[in-house]
Structure 1
Amino acid sequence: MQVIFKIFRQNENTGPSFQTYQLDVEAGNTILDCLNRIKWEQDGSLAFRKNCRNTICGSCGMRINGRSALACKENVGSELSRLQQVTASATNLDPTDILPESIPEITIAPMGNMPVIKDLVVDMQSFWDNLEAVEPYVSTRARQVPEREFLQTPEERSRLDRTGNCILCGACYSECNAREVNPEFVGPHALAKAYRMVADSRDDRTESRLEQYNQGTKGVWGCTRCFYCNAVCPMDVAPMDRIGEIKNEILARKNEQDSRSIRHRKVLVELVKQGGWIDERKFGLQVVGNSFKDIKGLISLGPLGLRMLIGGKFPFRFEPSAGTEEVRSLIESVRELEEKRD
């Protein structure tokens, strides 16, 4: 079948543009196969990264039809089917009712949150720098027993399995909304690797690592939980879930007075437990105002409160939601399970 590939072209410090190439392809051809053919048969100046061709090295990360993926993993047939599903969802039509284009198009662009060097090749220096910032390697404790290997139980080793699958392709970093607006945030890839160190029984720096990952919005509290990193990860590492597990380790060791981020999480859970949903009046006072202990925080709430009053959006009373007892029971059950697991 004939397919048009609309490919982002750009040299460093020049404006971007799209260039189209038409190929006769099979549904099972990978996107990387198609890029290779374009480079070999039509345009030798096209630049992109590749290496293993087998979803191992992570080199060929790029945006395919708007989401970051590995070109060696995605194929033409699955991409066209996904586009049809997206169109159906946007138009509330059955996918079978959507008429195919005369010649379907696949758009390919470089990954996000990193500057373009040329075409589909991006500068990943910030990606590597942020990875290095979390010190993603086991501490020197293992070197104190040189006469034997450092043994782990199967259960201890199994805690590392998922994060060990990360191939550092950059897909999660590319799609990270938090990284896009906050240049201090280290990114989901780094924090997924950070969790591996927290969970590793051979490491003896757990406490200092958690202090480091707890620093403002450059650590775990910078994550907005948008789920994009989980959605695009080709190896099912689920970086957002790993970030959540680091947060749980921090929360187990800290109280509400340690930081606003910790108060935010603990107060939110307690208010939901009390009323089934959040009493916004108490939430602002307890989190930002630290229950009247933070004067600057209280003052900062003034303009927002005034705008809410003027707009008729300030709740003068709070009504618990239906099913509050069930919500409370669920929260307590989850806490009991976590305590047993620990």
Structure 2
Amino acid sequence: MEVLFKVIRQQKNSSPVVQTYLLQVEPGNTILDCLNRIKWEQDGTLAFRKNCRNTICGSCAMRINGRSALACKENVGSEIARLQQLALLKNSANNIPEITIAPLGNMPVIKDLVVDMSNFWNNLEAIAPYVSSAARQVPEREFLQTPQQRSRLDQTGNCIMCGACFSECNAFEVNPDFVGPHALAKAYRMVEDSRDSETETRLEKYNEGTKGVWGCTRCLYCNSVCPMDVAPLDQITKIKQEILDRKQKSDSRSIRHRKVLIELVKEGGWIDERQFGLQVVGNYFKDLRGLLGIVPLGLRMVARGKFPLSFEPSEGAGQVRSLIEAVQKEEVGIRD
């Protein structure tokens, strides 16, 4: 079958251009196979990263038809089928299917599909991704773990640092201080590691403003593109829970936001917006600056009839409450 590959090419500090390459391919050919053929047979100047070709090293991550993925994992047939299912398949003038290849996002382009991953690695370094045993007595041979303790590290240990999640991270795009889903997924590995002696210090660091876990917008893109099922958002959520277990509502707005939301839903089945703003932003009338900050919004809502003057609990409030309490009890049991 013939496929038209549209490659987004770019030199450093220059505008991107689209270059097309027509290939005769088999459905089972990977995107990396096709890029290799373009480079070997049509254009030796095309630049991209590759190494293992077996979804182990993460080198060949790039955007394939708008989503970050490994070029060695995705093949032509499955990619065309995915686009057809989503009704996104584009054809050229000769009715030839098109596949668009672009560099990863959130990282400056060096050349073509090669990006500068300095921020990616610097943000990983910022969370201190190494087990610390400084506060523990060094054993005669090694720090031992039970099979159960080790199994808790399996999912995060699968991360190959390909950069796909970082490429799709909306939070980093609007907030460069956010360390990124890859770093926080690795951070949870340190928190969960029974050999580490810096858990409390780590949690305080991951709790800082919007640099750490509270900077995540929970868009789920990181989970959807991760080729190794690390589920970075799930790991971020686990860190949040560890922090929430140690903090009070008065400690920060981020903590109040989570705790108040759960309390209001337990109480009424859904959120009472009147109480939510006052308790979270206004800190129960203790934060005058916060209260004054939401007054303009409140007045606009009242003027447009969008401010609820009363609150009616959900008919299923009792069922919602029992579900939340059951989940909370289960979480306590898992942690214990």
Is 1:197 the counterpart of 2:190? The answer is yes
Structure 1 counterpart SS, 2:140 = coil
In the TM superposition, residue 175 of structure 1 has moved relative to its aligned partner by: 0.3
- Match among 299, 316, 324 for residue 323 of structure 1: 316
Residue of structure 1 in register with 2:73 after alignment: 73
- Counterpart contact for 2:250–2:256, Cα < 8 Å: yes
Q: Which of residues 269, 286, 294 is equivalent to 1:301?
A: 294
1:143 shift after superposition = 8.0
Residues 229-240 of structure 1 correspond to what in structure 2 (within 5 A)? Answer: 229-240=222-233
Aligned length, in residue pairs: 333
Q: 2:120: which partner in 1?
A: 127
Task: Verify the 8 A CA contact 2:132 2:197 in the aligned structure 1.
Answer: yes
8 Å CA contact 2:31, 2:74 repeated in 1: yes
Amino acid at match of 2:288: I
Q: What amino acid sits opposite 2:118 in the alignment?
A: Q
2:200 matched to which residue of 1? 207
2 CA distance for matches of 1:70 and 1:153? 34
d(CA) in 1 for partners of 2:250 and 2:325? 23
Cα contact 2:278–2:291 (8 A) shared by 1? yes
Output aligned runs, 1:251-290, within 5 Å: 251-290=244-283
Counterpart check, 1:57 vs 2:50? no
Unaligned runs of 5+ in 2: none
Shift of 1:186: 0.1
Q: TM-score, normalised by structure 2?
A: 0.97
Distance apart, 1:142 and its partner CA: 8.7
* Corresponding residue SS for 1:87: coil
Whether contact under 8 Å (1:141, 1:202) holds in the other structure is no
Distance in 2 (CA, whole Å) between partners of 1:143 and 1:207 is 14
SS in 2 for 1:56: coil
Structure 1 segment 19-38 matched on structure 2, within 5 A? 19-38=19-38
Deviations 1:67-121 (A, max 9, x none): 0000000000000000001117x9xxxxxxx9xx820000000000001111000
Cα distance in 1 for residues equivalent to 2:61 and 2:328:
39
Q: Helix, strand or coil: the match of 1:3?
A: strand
State the secondary structure of the residue aligned to 1:106: strand
TM-score when normalising by structure 1: 0.95
Question: Per-residue deviation at 1:306?
Answer: 1.0
Q: Distance in 1 between matches of 2:175 and 2:320?
A: 34
The worse-fitting range, judged by mean Cα deviation, of 259-268 and 318-327 is: 318-327
C-alpha distance in 2 between matches for 1:177 and 1:264: 20
Residue by residue, what CA displacement relative to the aligned partner does 1:186-212 show, whole Å, maximum 9, x if unpaired? Answer: 000000000000000000000000000
Aligned to 1:2: 2
Percent of residue pairs identical: 75
Distance 1:326 1:81 in 2: 42
- Residue 235 of structure 1 aligns to which amino acid in structure 2? M
Structure 1 residues 115-166: Cα deviation after superposition (integer angstroms, max 9, x where no partner): 1111000100000000000000001349842521111000100110000000
Contact 1:172 1:188 in 2 (8 A): yes
Q: Partner residue of 1:93? A: none
Q: Distance in 1 between matches of 2:302 and 2:220?
A: 33
User: Are the equivalent residues in 2 in contact too, given 1:61–1:171 (CA < 8 A)?
Assistant: yes
Distance 2:97 2:197 in 1: 55
Moved beyond 6 Å, runs of 4+? none
Which secondary structure does the structure 1 equivalent of 2:251 belong to? coil
- Shift of the alpha carbon at 1:321? 1.8
Query: Distance in 2 between the 1:235 and 1:113 partners?
Result: 20
Unaligned ranges ≥5, structure 1: 91-97
2 CA distance for matches of 1:246 and 1:107?
Answer: 36
Cα drift, residue 312 of structure 1: 1.3
Is residue 42 of structure 1 aligned with residue 42 of structure 2?
Answer: yes
Residue identity in the other structure for 2:40: W
Paired residue type of 2:170 = N
Supply the distance in 1 between the matched residues of 2:31 and 2:68 (Cα, whole angstroms). 13
After TM superposition, give the deviation of residue 309 of structure 1 in Å. 1.2
Q: CA RMSD in A?
A: 1.6
Q: Which residue of 2 aligns with 1:180?
A: 173
Kept after mapping to 2: 8 A contact 1:9/1:120: yes
Q: Partners in 2 of 1:113 and 1:285 — Cα distance? A: 36
The secondary structure found in structure 2 opposite 1:257 is: helix
Deviates more, 1:184-193 or 1:302-311: 302-311
8 Å CA contact retained: 2:133, 2:195: no
1:87 aligned residue: 87
Q: Distance in 2 between matches of 1:144 and 1:64?
A: 49
